[in-house]
Structures are given as C-alpha cells and as structure tokens.
Amino acid sequence: MSNTGIGARIERTEDKRFITGNGRYTDDINLPGQVYASFVRSPHAHAKVTGIDAKDALALKGVVKVFTGKDMEADGLGGLICGWTVTSKDGEPMKVGGHPSLAPERVRYVGDCVAVVIGESREAARLGAEAVAVSYEELDAVVEPAQAQNQNAPKVHEDIDKNLCFHWELGDKEATDAAFDKAAHVTHLDIVNNRLIPNAIEPRAALGDYNPGSGDYTLYTTSQNPHVERLVLSAFVGVAPEHKLRVISPDVGGGFGSKIFVYAEETVCLWAAGKIQRPVKWTAERSESFLSDAHGRDHVTRAELALDGDGRFLALRAHTVANLGAYLSTFSSSVPTYLYGTLLSGQYDIAAIHVEVEGVYTHTAPVDAYRGAGRPEATFVVERLVERAARETNKDPAELRKKNFVTKFPHQTPVILNYDTGDYNACIDRASEMIDYKSFDKRRKEAQAKGKLRGIGFSTYIEACGLAPSNAVGSLGAGVGLWESAEVRVNPTGNVEVLTGAHSHGQGHETSFAQLVSDRLTIPIEDITIVHGDTASVQFGMGTYGSRSAAVGMSAIDGALDKVITKAKRIAAHILEVQPDDIELADAAFRIKGTNKFIPWGELALNAYTAHKFSTSEIEPGLKETAFYDPTNFTFPAGCHICELEVDPQTGCVEIVDYVAVDDFGTIINPMIVEGQVHGGVLQGIGQALLENGVYDVETGQLVTGSYMDYTMPRAHDAPPLRLDFTNTPAPSNPLGVKGCGEAGAIAAPAAVLNALTSAIGHENISMPATPAKVWRAIQT
Amino acid sequence: MYPFTYHRASSIEQAQALLDVSDDSKLLAGGQTLIPTLKQHLASPGALVDIGKIEALRFVRVEKASVVVGAATPHAQVAGDGKLAQKIPALAHLAGKIGDPHVRNVGTLGGSIANNDPAADYPAACLALGATIQTDKRNISADDFFTGLFETALEEHEIITEISFPVPKLAAYEKFPNPASRYALAGVFVAQTEAGVRVAVTGAGVNGVFRMTEMESALANNWSADALEGISPSADSLLSDLHGAADYRAHLVNVMAKRAVAQTC
Ligand SMILES: Cc1cc2nc3c(=O)[nH]c(=O)nc-3n(C[C@H](O)[C@H](O)[C@H](O)COP(=O)(O)OP(=O)(O)OC[C@H]3O[C@@H](n4cnc5c(N)ncnc54)[C@H](O)[C@@H]3O)c2cc1C
C-alpha cells in the first residue's frame, strides 16, 4: 500500500502546528479568573528560616494571597517523593530527607521555595514575592560530592549522617579483586562527570484549576508522564484523590528527562487553586529553570580495568560518588545505581565487575535523569578506560575493543543485564571505514603542518532501553511497573484514534506511531490520530523517557492492533460467510484469501457499529481494543561513534572536524526522525564534552552558571559534520524488533570526544567540559 | 519589569526635553542591554526615552578622512555598509561579529559604548582608531571617554549623537569569544593611524578596554606579528572568571594581537 508504513522517511505531521505557531503549550492555556503564582526562593544554599513576614506583600495592589510551607502542612499535604528505593550494601534502605514543596523551616539549596505569592498578574505576583520578608539564619553549605561526607561537612538533612543517602554495590567483589590480583596490566582512571543543566526550550509551567461544584481538580503541566504525575499528587502528596484529578500535559517543548519529575511548583499551583478557588498559573523564567529544574550527571569516579597479557579484559571495578542534590527527585536514586552500574560491562565480555556507589546529599538542586540517565556516565567510564588501556599497552584501540567484544548472544553480564542480540563488530567496522581510520596518521601529519593537533577517539557504547520489565525493576526497588498501555479506537467512519500512555515532547510520536498503525491496518496515515497526554482520555501510561516509547509504547499499540484486526476479521468473516482464518487484511480491505470478494475497511468499521450483520450475542458491537504491554527484557541499542578533532594549541580551541556514528537501533520506523534523534543526542553529548557545566560556588553555594552568559549551550555553529549509518539486529524482546534511539547520541558522544581530545594532546589530564581555557592549560603542562 | 513610562522621541531635541522631565528617566536605544536589565529587576527607571527610531541618529557617512556613524545605527548596518567596509574593513568586521543576527539588527553603536561593558567589542575600535564621540553637548575623545567598568565620561542625560572614526592606514580586529556569551574574552584592535600605531584590548581588563602601549611601540618599529613575541599585559590587570583565568587572557591578548597584525600583512 502506502509509503507511510514502517521504515518510511516521511515528514513529521506535528511539525506544521509547531512551526506555524499553532502548538498549544501549557502557557498558552488561560482560564477565566486565572491568577498567577510567583515563588519566593531561597537566596542561600543553606539556612534556617526564622520568620516569614508577608505584610508588605499583601499590602501591594494585585496581590491576592501568600502561602507558606506551614499552610501546606496544616492542610496535611505530604512532601514530594522518590519512587525508587535503593538498598545499601549493609541491607539498609536509602535514607530519605523530607522534601516539602514549600520549605517550612530550612532551605537546602539556592532556589528552594519558601513561599508562594498569588497575584492578579504575573508582575503583581512577582513584585509581591520580592516584598515577602524572609528572615534567614545562614548556615554553611557543601556543594561538591567529594566533600559531602567529610567529617565537618554541614549536614543537608539533620538526621542523615555524613550526607550519605545510600552506599550501594553491584557485582562480585571477591571475584573482581581476585581477577585484579592476577592481571598483567591495570589501567586506572579518575574522572568527573560534569553536572549538566537541562534547558528545554519550553520552561516548566503549570496551571492548576479547581471546580468547587464538583470537587474536580485539573492540572495542566509540562510533564513527560501525566499519569505518574497524577498518581504521585494524589497517592503521596494528597492534593486530591486520583479520580478527582485530571492531569493534562499538552504540547511540551522538550524535556530531556527534566519533565519526568513531580516538582514543587505544579504541586503548589494545584493545591493553591483549590484554596483560593481560582485557576493558578506559573511559568518558569529561564533563571528559575537554571536554579530549580533537576540537573543531570555530577559523578566523581575512580575506575580500574584489569587486562591479561594478551589484552583480554579480566575485570572492572569502579567507585563513584554521585551527587543527588539537596533532595531526592522522583527517580534520582535509580540513575547512579541501576541505570549506571548495570552498564559497566559495555560491549565487552568481562568476567568480573564490581561497582560501589555512594549517593550523597549536597546543598544543590536535585539531580535526576537527564538524557541517557546513568548510561552516559557508565559509557564514559568504560570507554575512557578502554581507550586508555589501549594506549598504555600500545594496542590499536579498535583492535583491543574487537578482541573483547561480546560476540555470542544471549550474553549474561556480571551486572544483571542479559544482552539478547547485537553485532558490535559490524558497527565498528562500518564506522572505521566511514571515517577512513586507516589514513588517520596522514591526516594527523597534515594537521601538524598547519600547527594543529589532531586526534581520533572511539566510543563503542551500549545502553539498556525499553524500560522496562516490571518484575525486574520491581525486584530492584522501583515503585512502579514500567509497562505501557494503548487503546485503538476505530471510529464508525473508519478513521482511527490511538490513545497512548507514552508522551511526545519533541520525539515525533504522532508520526512514528501513526506509521505503525498505517502499516498494520493498511490505511492512510491521514486517517490516524495519536492522542496522548491527558489522564481523562488515555487509560493509563508510564510516559516517555529511557528510550522506551518505541519498544514499549508502540508494542502496546501493536498488541491493541492485533486485537482490533482479530475482531474485525471475525466480523468480516460473518458478513462474507467464511471462517476468520479465510480473511486477510490488505490494501484497506478485508478479503477472502484468493478471491476478489472483500469488504472495504471503512465499511467494516461502520458494520462493527451498526451491528446489523453479525450476531451481537457472539461478537460485541464496536471496534475498540486496549492492550497493556510489559516487555520481556530491556533492549540493547549499541553502536560505534568515532570523533576526529583538531586543537589549536595557541588558544586551546577544539574543532570537531569529522564525526561518524553507526548505531544498531533494531528496526527503524522513520529514518528521518531517528537521524534527528541521533543529531540532537550527539550535540548534547558534545555539549557535555566541550561546553556545558553546572557550577556552584564552593564557598557560598551560589549557582555560578545561572544564565546563558555563563552556561554554554551548544549552538548551531558547534554542530560538527555528522555522518550516520545504521546496522540492524532486531530486538527479540518486542514484536517490532525496535530498540530505542532517543538517548544514544548523548550516551556515546562524550567518550568519543574526550578520547579524541586526549589522543590529540597526548595525555589524559583533561576533564569535561574541555573548554578552550582548560585545553590550553592542559597543553602547557 | 517594574512599571515605567515609555516615550518615543522623534528628534534629539525632543529626547532632551523628555529626559529632563524627571531625574529617573533613561535613554533606550536598541534595548539589548537595558531590556534584560529591566526584566531582571536590576533597574527601575521611571521613564524610558526611546531614541532608536530617530532618523538623524541612524546613518553611516563616509568622509574623506573619517567615517561617521550615528549613535542609533544598528550593528548590522555598520557591518553591511559597503562604503564603510572599503574605508575601515576592520570596523565592519567587528560589527559583524557582535552577538547574533537579532542583536545586530537592533543593538546600536551608541548603546554599546554608553554601556561600556568590559567585554564589548566597539570600545576597542573606538580606542584604537582614536575615535571622537560627539554628544548633544560636546566632543569627547575615545581616550577620555571610557573611564572604567561600565563607566564613561557621559554626564547625566547626555546623549551620544555620533561617533567619528578617523580612517586608519591599516587596521584589524581579532576576537576570542567567550564560549558562553560570545562577547569578547579577549579582543584586540590594532591600527596604524595618522597619530601613530594604536592597540586597544577589550574583554580582558579589570577596568575595561585599555591601550597596550608596549605593543604599540613594538609595532611602530616593526609592523609584524613577530614584533609582538613575548608581549602581553600583566595578568594582575586582567579579569579572571570561569571562562578564563587572567594568565590565559594575557596569553590570548598576545595571540589575538599577532593574528590581527598578521591579517594586515
Ligand atoms: C544575546 C546578546 C549577545 C550580545 N553579544 C555581544 C557581543 O558579542 N559583543 C558586544 O559588544 N555586545 C554584545 N551584546 C550587546 C549589544 O551589542 C548591545 O546592543 C549593546 O551593548 C547596547 O546597545 P543597545 O542599543 O541595545 O543599548 P540599550 O540596551 O538600549 O542601552 C544600553 C545603555 O546605553 C544607554 N544609551 C543608549 N543609547 C545612548 C546614547 N545614544 N547616548 C547615551 N546613552 C545611550 C542606555 O541608556 C543604556 O544605559 C550582546 C547583547 C545580547 C542581548
């Protein structure tokens, strides 16, 4: 039939509305009687709140109301929660510091909310917030993860010793140590994975609404997972019971993880709407986003790789201190543990691995999942180690990798995961060929003649996506199941609405998902609508993150399509007076196989609803099916990225002159969308490698990089020439064979860039982001 | 923003009269610096007098020995003016490197030098070319105009009307952009003027733009990049921040100066 099915490179149907300014974002929604919230935020990293005087604020024109944490406490509201319980190696559950939406007595990072001012206009609310007089007793702060456990470090939560949330381990320590004892060579690495600040184009926003007549609450908000948002706000925070709360997450302009979480601001807007019985809106200013969106990464790691005399990897061990920030955000504990430690086997057959992670509180914004979430951190450790080991043992980095690749599947790693399929040699061979690896030395000499230092770096990454088999994550501490649901509604006129629990905030689901439906139902893509982001229309869903929406979300749709097709064939069989097995669906018609007798798709749909031509005691009228899909395994996208760059030794400037990526994402639904995901991900990875850094002042705990004047977001001119290709070993764990592609670029790129950079400057002594100033200094030494 | 009254002036005289109505009024040109300041509640003028649309302040005039630019001329116009580019290509090049297209289409020369951001580009051109800043009250030489960080010789409510750049024999500007803001981390403008060699450095100095006399005399003897070998400002007089410590900036000043001179050779 059409060229709109699986594998078709078609333009994104949602783009017309975005590009022409017809998107409908949370801030575009306005309700009658709406007022605005402005938050009074702590200017201190750590302080006792000794008094809040709202008198002057309330006297201002247009100020409606001021609420503090005490008001929320008085209403019996709970704090924000973390949905994943990590258990320490001594068997103790992680230590959770209370996280009130409005801090009643102690603030723990710059930007922590202490009060909210409701005003008739944004400006009135903001002026009101400036007029609230908060008395603080300033206390010392600690912002560096490596210092959080020091004897004299100030405590973030009074009852949590040494600021230690958990001390977690994974793998067999004894076996690992034994392997190290007999190693011919051990490569050491001390690395920092720099803190990143997400910076979606659309800032977070919320609009809470309450109907005093029905008692119904509605929250419009920038969420990647509206059902989870509703679950947390009802079951844990207690703003309203689940059936009285509707969460709508309309068009969302980027999330990268930062919009998975349930934050203080939307909680307060929703609750305040009930208190004052008027809709309450808040939209973050960019400076608030910098301060209060959950940040990413921020690890300090010491890692070691043991090799035998042949260059075979014997064992790997790592010790990581992960900064969790002042409070545990919604999934923060899972990121530096199960999303990190489990990936430390990389693409390699390593018999023994042991990792310990200390998750520590500091007086900084909470840290949680950010594009890649744990997997970029793991890849950076493994791929920097391997590259360094190759250099130390005078082996070709590509050959050393190939010698150690997993080649037989399924492969059980020593860190939980069971790799089901892959072909790592295919990726590295293709990528090496594309970049003409053989001739690198020639290019290096040419660069030298121009006064430039040229380097090349590999990153053969693996990730675990398609989050996730519910039993498996449940046994590891997850508070939720990670299946996905879908409902396929065939309307009487034959067009189709698909309700999905996944949420699109830039990924192009409205196109990719429709391609699957078009493919399976053999109907035109124009006849398909994808509905997402509203708890009142979609049955339930776990949302979009962890590159899960193709592997899990689309598989659920596929399951519902199976049911629809089965039922439709039964109806067709009735009408055509044959057995369902005699019917085939092709070219938008149900046909008796091998004949020219058929019912067109639209006619069948109408028949399903008129229910005149089949027995409704045998077949229910209507054509609408639901499926919940739980994956049987993670998926394992993997690939090889190679970066080639030149350094100007006079200024320290790094120019990426070539970058190739060969990824195995399994089945590809829409190559154009997938390429876009790789482009964006790689650019984010380059951002981490060369540009971005979330910096807190060690003395004062102030966020130094609180605006684009100091936080270096990648710009168009930072995008190198990117050359992509794909291999395909279909994922056996889902019916579509898809693996997920949303995070790969951000996972692979930092190691590729740093491996290239260290190859160019000839030593390993450089950290991310490798800014010109740092590179220049590294060259001097 | 705090509330304020907005006036759009159609002539310099009208702007003067509007400014004098109250003490807390302020000029608005392109607004690329002032508007963000207002949004962050860092300033609260009672009235803004917009001079950005006064035609008499938006022009590029090429004279025999100088190029005169109206104070409200946007950067893009300076960058794109063919006659100006023939006379002082370095000035057009500098204007074309400021910010991004949005900023260049709205931000103005007068606003830039009145603000005297230590990382701004134009002050380097004014100082190295020995420009004259004309206001509604007097002429001020560039040497006297830039008095410190965000400080100028301008008096309360004094309006810059035009800037006159003497045409140099040779000139070039090299900028090392701050990776985040793209303002100058170190920018060096070198010029052979009628009054001798002049070198101005922006982005690096603790007191804003400054002249590098040591480089000037070295280049007066021998106009070549080699002549600058080993000459850089003392790190004590330079800014240090997240993007570059003083010693790195000192080094960059040397590299940028050499590259600027090399461009002209
Ligand atoms: C994203 C961004 C990037 C930028 N990048 C750069 C860069 O790379 N290099 C660079 O040099 N600059 C950069 N700028 C600053 C830009 O060049 C501004 O245009 C300039 O600093 C101010 O000019 P304006 O016309 O916008 O002045 P405004 O913001 O309107 O005014 C600035 C100040 O000057 C005063 N003023 C304005 N006109 C006059 C006048 N005629 N007489 C007396 N006082 C006056 C105002 O009262 C105000 O105090 C950037 C700005 C932005 C927003």
Q: Does residue B246 register a pLDDT over 60? A: yes
**Does any domain span residue A300?**
yes
Same domain, A603 and A512: yes
- Beta strand B66-70 with B60-62: parallel, antiparallel or unpaired? antiparallel
Same domain, A499 and A573: yes
Interatomic CA distance for residues A265 and A47, integer angstroms: 20
**Which residues, in sequence order, are CB contacts of A439 under 8 Å at separation 6+?**
none
User: Of the candidates A669, A679, A671, A665, which has an alpha carbon nearest to the alpha carbon of residue A635?
Assistant: A665
Q: What are phi and psi of A376, to 5 degrees?
A: -65, -35
Q: Which run of H or of E encompasses A560?
A: helix A555-576
Measured between beta carbons, the chain B residues lying within 8 angstroms of A127 are: 2
pLDDT band at B239 (very low <50, low <70, confident <90, very high): very high
pLDDT band at A1 (very low <50, low <70, confident <90, very high): very low
**Does any domain span residue A400?**
no
User: Which of A130, A285, A704, A712 is most worth mutating to test chain B (most B CB atoms within 10 A of its CB)?
Assistant: A712
CB contact under 8 A, B242 and A695: yes
**Which residues, in sequence order, are CB contacts of A397 under 8 Å at separation 6+?**
A386, A387, A390, A391, A458, A755
User: Mean pLDDT across the stretch A8-31?
Assistant: 96
Q: In angstroms, what is the span from residue B1 Cα to ligand 1's centroid?
A: 18
User: Of the candidates A264, A259, A124, A255, which has an alpha carbon nearest to the alpha carbon of residue A201?
Assistant: A255
Q: Does residue A647 register a pLDDT over 50? A: yes
Give tens-digit pLDDT for A279-308.
999 999 999 999 999 999 999 999 999 999
From edge to edge, which strands make up the β-sheet containing A496-500? A528-531, A496-500, A484-490, A624-629
Measured between beta carbons, the chain B residues lying within 8 angstroms of A704 are: 242
User: Mean pLDDT across the stretch B49-62?
Assistant: 97
CB contact under 8 A, B181 and A709: yes
Tally C-beta pairs within 8 A across A and B. Answer: 42
Interatomic CA distance for residues B52 and B91, integer angstroms: 21
Q: In angstroms, what is the span from residue B109 Cα to ligand 1's centroid?
A: 7
User: Of the candidates A6, A2, A1, A3, which has an alpha carbon nearest to the alpha carbon of residue A673?
Assistant: A6
User: A173: which 2 tokens?
Assistant: 């320590």
Interatomic CA distance for residues A383 and A389, integer angstroms: 10
% of chain A at pLDDT higher than 90: 98
% of chain A at pLDDT higher than 70: 100
Q: Radius of gyration of chain B from Cα atoms? A: 18
Q: Does residue A125 register a pLDDT over 80? A: yes
pLDDT band at A465 (very low <50, low <70, confident <90, very high): very high
What is the CATH classification number for the domain harbouring A599?
Answer: 3.30.365.10
Instruction: Looking at the CA of residue B28, tell me the nearest atom of ligand 1.
Output: 30
**Does any domain span residue A568?**
yes
Q: In angstroms, what is the span from residue B120 Cα to ligand 1's centroid?
A: 9
Query: Is B146 an 8 Å CB contact of chain A?
Result: no
Number of domains in chain A: 4
Give tens-digit pLDDT for A663-682.
999 999 999 999 999 999 99
3-state DSSP assignment of residue A366? coil
Residue type, A620: E
**Does any domain span residue A499?**
yes
Give tens-digit pLDDT for A223-256.
999 999 999 999 999 999 999 999 999 999 999 9
Same domain, A735 and A674: yes
Which whole-number Å values give the CA distances from A170 to A270, A361, A374, in the listed order? 40, 21, 14
* Domain regions of chain B by residue span: 1-56, 58-265
Q: Does residue A272 register a pLDDT over 60? A: yes
Same domain, A716 and A644: yes
Global model pTM greater than 0.90:
yes
Instruction: Looking at the CA of residue A708, tell me the nearest atom of ligand 1.
Output: 1
User: Mean pLDDT across the stretch A421-430?
Assistant: 98
pLDDT, position A422: 97
Instruction: Looking at the CA of residue B36, tell me the nearest atom of ligand 1.
Output: 53
From the CA of A343, how many Å to the nearest CA of chain B? 32
Interatomic CA distance for residues A121 and A499, integer angstroms: 36
Q: What is the ipTM of this complex?
A: 0.96
Around ligand 1, the residues with Cβ closer than 6 Å are B 26-34, 51, 71, 98-99, 103, 107-108, 110-112, 114-115, 117, 120-122, 154, 159-160, 182-183
Q: Does residue A56 register a pLDDT over 50? A: yes
User: Mean pLDDT across the stretch A599-627?
Assistant: 97
Q: Does residue A2 register a pLDDT over 60? A: no
Helices (H), A93-172: 122-131
Measured between beta carbons, the chain A residues lying within 8 angstroms of B252 are: 651
Give tens-digit pLDDT for A140-192.
999 999 999 999 999 999 999 999 999 999 999 999 999 999 999 999 999 99
Measured between beta carbons, the chain A residues lying within 8 angstroms of B3 are: 123
Q: What are phi and psi of A201, to 5 degrees?
A: -60, -45
Range of the domain at A277: 31-139+202-253+259-292
CB contact under 8 A, B181 and A650: no
Same domain, A317 and A431: no
**Which residues, in sequence order, are CB contacts of B38 under 8 Å at separation 6+?**
B1, B2, B4, B44, B45
Interatomic CA distance for residues A742 and A376, integer angstroms: 13
Give tens-digit pLDDT for A78-89.
999 999 999 999
Same domain, A97 and A181: no
From edge to edge, which strands make up the β-sheet containing A216-221? A63-68, A113-119, A35-41, A280-283, A205-211, A216-221, A245-248
Q: Does residue A541 register a pLDDT over 60? A: yes
Q: What are phi and psi of A772, to 5 degrees?
A: -55, -40
User: Mean pLDDT across the stretch B164-185?
Assistant: 97
Average pLDDT, chain B: 97
Same domain, A286 and A317: no
**Which residues, in sequence order, are CB contacts of B265 under 8 Å at separation 6+?**
B223, B224, B225
Give tens-digit pLDDT for A388-424.
999 999 999 999 999 999 999 999 999 999 999 999 9
From the CA of A710, how many Å to the nearest CA of chain B? 5
CB contact under 8 A, A710 and B242: yes
pLDDT, position B1: 86
Same domain, A606 and A701: no
**Does any domain span residue A659?**
yes
Query: Is A123 an 8 Å CB contact of chain B?
Result: yes
pLDDT, position B250: 98
Find the residue in A nearest to B245 (Cα): A773
Interatomic CA distance for residues A240 and B175, integer angstroms: 57
CATH of B1-56, one of 3.30.43.10, 3.40.50.720, 3.40.50.300, 3.40.50.2300: 3.30.43.10
**Does any domain span residue A23?**
no
Query: Is A773 an 8 Å CB contact of chain B?
Result: yes
Same domain, A148 and A244: no
Measured between beta carbons, the chain A residues lying within 8 angstroms of B204 are: none
**Does any domain span residue A464?**
no
User: Which of A709, A711, A715 is most worth mutating to test chain B (most B CB atoms within 10 A of its CB)?
Assistant: A709
The closest residue, in CA terms, to atom 53 on ligand 1 is B32
User: Mean pLDDT across the stretch A463-477?
Assistant: 92
Average pLDDT, chain A: 97
CB contact under 8 A, B255 and A651: yes
Q: In angstroms, what is the span from residue A695 Cα to ligand 1's centroid?
A: 27
Least confident of A291-300, A344-353, A422-431, B16-25: B16-25
CATH of B58-265, one of 3.40.640.10, 3.30.465.10, 3.40.50.300, 3.20.20.140: 3.30.465.10
The closest residue, in CA terms, to atom 39 on ligand 1 is B111
Query: Is B244 an 8 Å CB contact of chain A?
Result: yes
User: A94: which 2 tokens?
Assistant: 């992680």
CB contact under 8 A, B180 and A709: yes
Interatomic CA distance for residues A496 and A141, integer angstroms: 56
DSSP A691: I
Closest partner CB to A651 (pick from B40, B176, B242): B176
CB contact under 8 A, B180 and A712: yes
User: A3: which 2 tokens?
Assistant: 């060229």
Query: Is B61 an 8 Å CB contact of chain A?
Result: no
Q: Does residue A10 register a pLDDT over 50? A: yes
Query: Is B103 an 8 Å CB contact of chain A?
Result: no
Kindly tell me the burial class for residue A236, based on how many C-beta atoms sit within 10 Å of its own C-beta (0-12, 13-18, 19 or more): middle
**Does any domain span residue A411?**
no
pLDDT, position B22: 87
**Which residues, in sequence order, are CB contacts of B127 under 8 Å at separation 6+?**
B142, B143, B146, B189, B198, B200, B209, B210, B211
Q: How many CA atoms lie within 13 A of A245 on its CB side?
A: 28
Residue type, A654: V
Domain boundary among A588, A611, A629: A629
User: A63: which 2 tokens?
Assistant: 């100020």
Give tens-digit pLDDT for A491-506.
999 999 999 999 999 9
Same domain, A98 and A176: no
Give tens-digit pLDDT for A204-213.
999 999 999 9
